[in-house]
Amino acid sequence: MSFDGLRLQATGPRRAVLLLALLCFVAFFVNNGFLRPDIMETRNLETAREMVEGGNWLVPRMNGEYRLEKPPLPTWIAAAAQAVAPDNLEVQRTMSGLAGCMLVVFFYLFAVKITRRDDYAFIASLMLITCYQIILQARTATWDIYCHSFMMWAIYFLWRGFYDECYYSTSHSARWFTLAGIMMGLSFMSKGPVSFYALLLPFLVMALWHRRPDMSGKWK
């Protein structure tokens, strides 16, 4: 099947972004309180509630017991939502939906960057939004969507640090690598090394196979 007929014209990218935004709204936010919370979501929300009520944001607790098995960033986000809108499941899930939107945004930007084709980026992002696992993660207040969203940011910044000079003859590698490192840290604080294996490692293998980056002047 050929996608030549879907090639975007001058005003195409704007229409594509609007359509992707509409799909994100429908997939991630509409009726997001319909599903009953599962056990993992319940644990996260209960930990966030006790964090707000006890005033201890440094050490997570659930039912009065320490809960240190999971990294704290998604719980902090849930606790912030709990402080603003107590016991509101829709608001909690909206935070995950926003993380899902940012995943789609940086996936789209990354696809445009590596192919320089807006039509390819649109079709790839459309497939991402309609994946069942992405929809489920972005509609529940759990950890997964945060770690993958932040890692997608990191991959986009890494690509720019590796290859931007090849396209634009300007060096902003220190900025891109710094941003990539921050996003990797946020991903790790969301669910440990999960996304490092799931997204970062395949990306690095692909990048080295695609074209070895020129690291002269970038190692520091």
Task: Report the C-alpha gap between 80 and 104 in whole angstroms.
Answer: 23
The residue assigned the tokens 């445009």 is 112
pLDDT in tens, 117-173: 888 999 999 999 999 999 999 999 888 899 999 999 999 999 988 887 654 444 577
Handedness of CA 183, 184, 185, 188 (dihedral sign): positive
pLDDT of residue 171: 55
Q: Which residue blocks in the chain are alpha helix, DSSP H?
A: 12-28, 39-54, 73-84, 89-115, 118-129, 132-138, 144-168, 173-191, 194-195, 201-210
pLDDT of residue 9: 41
pLDDT of residue 165: 62
pTM of the predicted protein model: 0.85
pLDDT of residue 81: 92
Which two tokens mark 176?
């891109």
Low-confidence ranges of the chain (pLDDT < 50): 1-11, 167-170
pLDDT of residue 12: 57
DSSP assignment letter at 5: G
Task: Report the C-alpha gap between 57 and 48 in whole angstroms.
Answer: 9
